[in-house]
Structure 1
Amino acid sequence: MLKKLQTKHISLIAGAGLCAFLAGAIVSAPEIGKSVGQWLKPRKIQPEQLSEESKAKSPVFALVSQSPQERAAKLEALKEGAKSADRNRARYLLASDLIERKQAKPALELLKGLEKDYPLLAPYVLLKQAQAEELLGEEGKASDLRQKVVKEYPKQAAAAKALYLIALPEYQDKAIAEFPSHPLTWEIIRKRLQENPNQPQLQLVLAKYAYDQLGIVPVLDQLANNSTLKPEEWEIIGTAYWENSEFGKAATAYGKATRTPQNYYRVARGLQVGGQRAEAVVMYQQLVKTFPDAKETGTALMRLAEMATVRKDALPYLNQVISKFPDKAGTALVEKIKILQTQDQKAASEALKLLLTKYGNSEEAAEYRWKMAQQKAKAKDYKAAWQWAEPIPKNNPNSILAPRAGFWVAKWASKLGKNQEAKQAFEYTISNFPYSYYSWRAAATLGLNVGNFNTVRKMNPQVVPIQRPLPTAGSETFKELYLLGQDRDAWLQWQTEFQNKMQPTVAEEFTDGLMQLAKGENIKGIDQISKLEDRETPQEQAEYQALSKQITYWQARYPFPYLKEIETWSEKRQLNPLLVTALIRQESRFETKARSTAGATGLMQVLPNTAKWIAPQIQFDTKKIDLQNPNDNIMFGTWYLDHTHQQYGNNSLLAIASYNAGPGNVSKWLPILPKEDPDEFVESIPFDETKNYVRQVFGNYWNYLRLYNPEISQIVSKYSAEHPELPLQ
């Protein structure tokens, strides 16, 4: 499978930037003249439960991706229609846009009485009214509206925002007690801790609910000095440290927590990472003895084998893993084979046979088969290579090697003159691994209109933008806010509801990834959504497989930020905009402030010296270069990508390789790598980083093409529906 960037992206307690996001929309409370009794009258209207189908029919949701200026006239027309959910949405969105432009009076007109017509967002309507009143200087009315939200919607997340903005101590106490997972509550706590740091119960709230926010580690450090904490509180601290990669500190905290398999393991692992080998061995052994059947025990046995000072002393641990923990048996067998090869060839052969038979569906079995297939292919024994590779896609369909093996089975079949079998294997690769780089190579080889290394630069595929996907978790209120593009309030609502951060369901993790993307946290969002494929339990894998069959999952995994800038500069440079997007996703995951150790900056990771070299050639003032500005970065990056294409006769394979490895290295490779077959050229690139980079960029390109271009999307769906078989040798 496509593997994702495993970057640990941490953003903790509310600083200035978070405060701006948190409190970006200020709140208020309703008109004073109406009685609470009238306001609380039960209404017959039940909000329609959202579905992808109903979402797609909404003309308002379709406008969310447009700027306020672009959508204003359309929303004006929609708000004049008959009473409907979309009329309510149009009024709310139009009012929100007006408030952002500080046009409070027309916003209030739109919001007047909307809380009755739009019960799903009623407290948020009141908060918008309060915000508008505050803009008009009506502090009293704004305060009344906030009070009404607290009184009439005391259990809803909107109440936490009202409590925060009322800002009275007793209201803040209520927020801490009732909404500990709300980000504005964290801000209240942070301010209180600045005034008086010695408040362990407040620190514990942050440790439990805000462990992934910027600045948490100093809070944990102070909390860990408290000698009165209970075992369950030490576990909270240990987990927060662990999630922030403070493994040594986590080990100390877990050592004071209740002894569970996970806590035992994390104590031992923390000690091992910290170089306390002997102590780690003791803790791993205690885990094995106390919880012999726990899943953590299998990992502990592997760690003990890894730490054995004499290699043969690892064998008893490995044998225990093989006999009791089948999910780790493949890894244990590989280690056992390595040891036995120097001691007992017959036993090593028996272990290998066991790996390929009983544990043939393990990643290790796939890796061994692929290694053998490559050896046979190098010796031009394509029949044997085919035989070794053919079981991989069937036995190991979730392996990263599966699409690669399927594709090369087709290539080797072609070399053997078995053209029908080759065609069938190419089709099998597209059908079963539509997300893979090798699916693109198969499609290109079959002559489909997807571009190849020599033509992809000049292509300009149609791109159909999408609406936001319907989140798979969360309340209807949260989903409504998210689909309306009300990202601050949607995030506050979601954080309040998302109580299961440590062990999220597949649906929750996907939804949290969507929210990260909506906030502009593209690295974190893409990473969260991508790593769903690594879920381990059968139920979780089944849930992931069901989700991964939805195009919305893949479109979230391959998002389209900065589309306008990409299209503008791609057109100017005569570059395929999807190729540019693919390169940006690989270089920075759309993080405008990304910076490499070498100083490469921004979306396309442009080096400052490179930008200074380019600037005079495009009549750009070098003093005005801002590589963190998306438009400027794409301007410079596309110029350089065009330059690399010109260097290599518009061959995108060489241009992309040069973008990563530099023109000097590519020039060295050209005389010595196979030129007749571009696929063999890619496999022969001597730098693993560049080899993977080429495959990842073109894999990204293929995914953007199949997900956003209707023609190719339809073709891929057709292949998937036909379910071709992989031909046998």
Structure 2
Amino acid sequence: TGSSVDCAATPVYKEGGDLTYAMAKGRYKKALAALDEKNGREALDLLLPIEKHYLRIKPFVLFHIAEAQALLGNEKAVQNRLNEVIRAYPNTFLETMAQYRLGQSLTRQQDERRAAEAFERVLLLNPKSSLGLGSHYYLGEMAMKAGQVQQARRHWRDYLQGSANGTFSASVTTQLLAANIDLDPVEHGLIGKSLWAQDNPSDALTHMKQAPLADVWLELAKLYANQGDSEQAKLVLETGLLESNDPKAAQDAVESLLRLTPKSQQIAYLEQLKSKPLKSGGDFVLWTLFHSASGAESQQYAKDLLDWYGEGRWAPETSWVFLRNDLLKGQDEAFLEAAETHLKHYPNSRSAPRVLFWKAKLLRKLDRESEAKAAFEALMKQYPYQYYAYRAETLLRPSSDRPKLWMTLTLGQQFPVALPNDGQALSFYTYEKGLAPVVAELIDIDALDDVQQFLYASD
């Protein structure tokens, strides 16, 4: 949304006075530990001297300072720091985070008019993000206090639709049930999901039965299964699966149906599902059959998947299985030819970086060094923040100046892998390209979670 944050030309750190770069790094790490321990005074004393020295990650330092001031109850100071970020980074994910925290601070001060303005701004910038959902919660609270029940319902309905098991879902559910209003079927479904997440199956079932089956079928089936009613669970799953257009829900349903089916009958049951006119999930049924069967039968399922669902989610993974088999059998030329086809057909798949990496390694093994180098470089250029790109760089340029901390990160710690797929994350991606390795270098791996919490938190 709006402008992006350009940090590429900004220096990481500005030397000055007696505070060296190493000393600043040490103070920053101690400040993060103090914040974890809710020690606002210690954190503030550590952060204030380094604030003017950190340039590229200054907004994060300001967020930490605001957090420390909040622990000390200095709401005006909190707001001053957050407004610095808002002025410096308008229309970016950084403004979204600052506006959300500004709204929280103003709520603590009971300045609900200005708090509402901040939360409305979050909804304008990133309505579908976790911070957008949190804003719906707070705006609903304010509306309910003001006696604006219908407005509160709208905000809380949006919140529950995005996060039925979120931080505020129990509070929302409790207040809606206490409001003595006639809930509509959709609200019954959302409340049922929330109660199910709160481990209240009896009340959850009561509400889900009053909701459209299309809204709650997956959760309702799991609830029946949890209560030991396998037949009813299976019936709901099969009914919902026939109408579902959601690939993730369909996959979840197929997996749940298999858990309710004896192992000796699973292949036959999958065959039955395969013959049904599923709107979604047919490729996952074939993928599961491919891995459940053996020999020629298994291979036929894989070929059916590629023929019938060649553009689906599981086609690239199925293609990779054939490629891997060629690789393991030493069928080098067959692998190289099939890899080229795979990369042309599935350039944006999860398997593409993996295929390109092994293609490059095989070319190097065959002493086709110039081709191998070109493949490694293509991998780093096309998929620069993927795991295999870092492996490629290690092989191609062992003495690279890239921060070595990145080589020790797990996939879950690498920003592009860990980030959720929402507008806030996508805005962050432009900033991350220059920032993430710097964060890893400046404040070490232990601090990555702290940086990420600013991107995810909705409470």
TM (normalized to structure 2)? 0.55
Q: Does 1:51 align with 2:6?
A: no
Residues 221-266 of structure 1, C-alpha deviations (whole Å, 9 max, x = no match): 7977999852343223124346x47494685155234314132232
Q: Does 1:315 align with 2:315?
A: no
Quick one: structure 1 residues 69 and 440, their matched pair in 2 at CA, closer, same or farther if it must change by over 3 Å?
Answer: closer
Provide the residue aligned with 1:25 in structure 2. none
Aligned-partner Cα distance in 2 for 1:418–1:247: 63
Aligned-partner Cα distance in 1 for 2:419–2:3: 23
What are the residue-to-residue correspondences of 1:216-295 with 2, within 5 Å?
Answer: 217=170, 220=173, 230=183, 231-241=185-195, 244=197, 246=199, 248=201, 252=205, 254-272=207-225, 275-287=228-240, 291=243
What residue identity is the alignment partner of 1:439? A
Residues 458-497 of structure 1, C-alpha deviations (whole Å, 9 max, x = no match): x9xxxxxxxxxxxxxxxxxxxxxxxxxxxxxxxxxxxxxx
Aligned-partner Cα distance in 2 for 1:592–1:215: 20
Aligned-partner Cα distance in 2 for 1:233–1:206: 10
What residue identity is the alignment partner of 2:3? S
What are the residue-to-residue correspondences of 1:71-110 with 2, within 5 Å?
Answer: none
Aligned-partner Cα distance in 2 for 1:529–1:444: 22
Aligned-partner Cα distance in 1 for 2:200–2:435: 32
Aligned-partner Cα distance in 1 for 2:180–2:207: 14
Q: Which structure has the larger Rg over C-alpha atoms?
A: 1
Which of 138, 144, 150 in structure 2 is aligned with 1:182? 138
Provide the residue aligned with 1:703 in structure 2. none
Which of 422, 425, 428 in structure 1 is aligned with 2:372? 422
What are the residue-to-residue correspondences of 1:605-684 with 2, within 5 Å?
Answer: none
| Paired residues of 2:165 and 2:198 also in contact (CA < 8 A) | no
Provide the residue aligned with 1:19 in structure 2. none
Residues 375-419 of structure 1, C-alpha deviations (whole Å, 9 max, x = no match): 443444433343444444333334433212211111111222222
Residues 284-339 of structure 1, C-alpha deviations (whole Å, 9 max, x = no match): 234356x476768845863575244423133121233xx544x6333221233456
| Paired residues of 1:265 and 1:287 also in contact (CA < 8 A) | yes
Aligned-partner Cα distance in 1 for 2:211–2:364: 61
Q: Does 1:382 align with 2:332?
A: yes
What residue identity is the alignment partner of 1:551? T
Provide the residue aligned with 2:350 in structure 1. 400
Quick one: structure 1 residues 301 and 550, their matched pair in 2 at CA, closer, same or farther if it must change by over 3 Å?
Answer: closer
Aligned residues: 360
Quick one: structure 1 residues 441 and 157, their matched pair in 2 at CA, closer, same or farther if it must change by over 3 Å?
Answer: closer
Provide the residue aligned with 2:254 in structure 1. 302
Aligned-partner Cα distance in 2 for 1:101–1:227: 37
Provide the residue aligned with 2:431 in structure 1. 552
Percent identity (aligned): 18
Deviation at 1:272, TM superposition (A): 3.3
What residue identity is the alignment partner of 1:367? E
Aligned-partner Cα distance in 2 for 1:223–1:53: 40
Gapped regions of structure 1 (runs ≥ 5): 1-48, 74-92, 111-119, 132-141, 160-178, 190-198, 460-522, 536-542, 567-579, 594-729
| Paired residues of 1:207 and 1:240 also in contact (CA < 8 A) | no
Provide the residue aligned with 1:676 in structure 2. none
TM (normalized to structure 1)? 0.38
Quick one: structure 1 residues 57 and 411, their matched pair in 2 at CA, closer, same or farther if it must change by over 3 Å?
Answer: closer
| Paired residues of 2:357 and 2:376 also in contact (CA < 8 A) | yes
Quick one: structure 1 residues 71 and 357, their matched pair in 2 at CA, closer, same or farther if it must change by over 3 Å?
Answer: same
Provide the residue aligned with 2:288 in structure 1. 335
| Paired residues of 1:430 and 1:443 also in contact (CA < 8 A) | yes
Aligned-partner Cα distance in 2 for 1:551–1:362: 28
Provide the residue aligned with 1:156 in structure 2. 117
| Paired residues of 1:440 and 1:450 also in contact (CA < 8 A) | no
Provide the residue aligned with 1:446 in structure 2. 396
Quick one: structure 1 residues 590 and 413, their matched pair in 2 at CA, closer, same or farther if it must change by over 3 Å?
Answer: same
Quick one: structure 1 residues 449 and 183, their matched pair in 2 at CA, closer, same or farther if it must change by over 3 Å?
Answer: farther
Quick one: structure 1 residues 526 and 216, their matched pair in 2 at CA, closer, same or farther if it must change by over 3 Å?
Answer: farther
